[in-house]
Amino acid sequence: MGDSSKKAIILMGHGSRVPDAGKHMEKVASGLRAKYGYNIVEICYMSRLGPHFPEIFEKCVVQGASEIMVIPYFLHDGLHLVLDIPEMMQEIVTQHPEVKLVLGMNLGFDDSLVDLVQKRIAASRNICDVRELALPPRRKYPVPPGQHEFVPMTPKEAAKYLKHSQESSH
């Protein structure tokens, strides 16, 4: 991104009802500042506890960023990457025509992920059986009214989407 003084990087995660769920993403942002010298590196979330994209975008603008690159902190190319995030970005950037806003690449696949997963497998070898885990009470993380924790889809419903996807890719 050239001259890093007027450029900003925003790492955008999904968001969670669990406080500190994004602590690892915060460490990555800190590492980008320290290791690669980016002056403005922020994190935000699409939903839940925040901070959310509009406020972090404005924070970058106030810090003088003329170009902002959003790196979606997502592995898979789901609906958030295909529609939700770019739509949200297009909406907010209309308020700042002087700012270039770039939707960067998500984490996706990289050969280094194979090694990372192997590292996690090795580190997980001595972890107890899931039945032995002490879980926090679900009420500690309430679902806001009108929202759902999961959106289930039956295999039959999924088959319709998969068929439609395969037909439109030909």
Other C-beta atoms closer than 10 Å to the C-beta of 2 total 7
Which of 14, 52, 80, 164 is catalytic? The answer is: 14
Rounded CA-CA distance 33/26 in Å is 11
Q: Report the run of H or E that residue 23 belongs to, with start and end.
A: helix 23-36
Tokens, residue 138? 């679900």
Placement of tokens 């039956």 in the chain: 154
Tokens, residue 124? 């997980």
Q: Which of 72, 7, 67 is nearest to 33 (CA)?
A: 7
Spatial CB neighbours of 73, under 8 Å, sequence gap ≥ 6 = 11, 12, 13, 14, 25, 28, 43, 106, 107
Rounded CA-CA distance 53/75 in Å is 19
80 is catalytic: no
DSSP label at 4? G
Question: Could you give the residue numbers annotated as active site?
Answer: 14
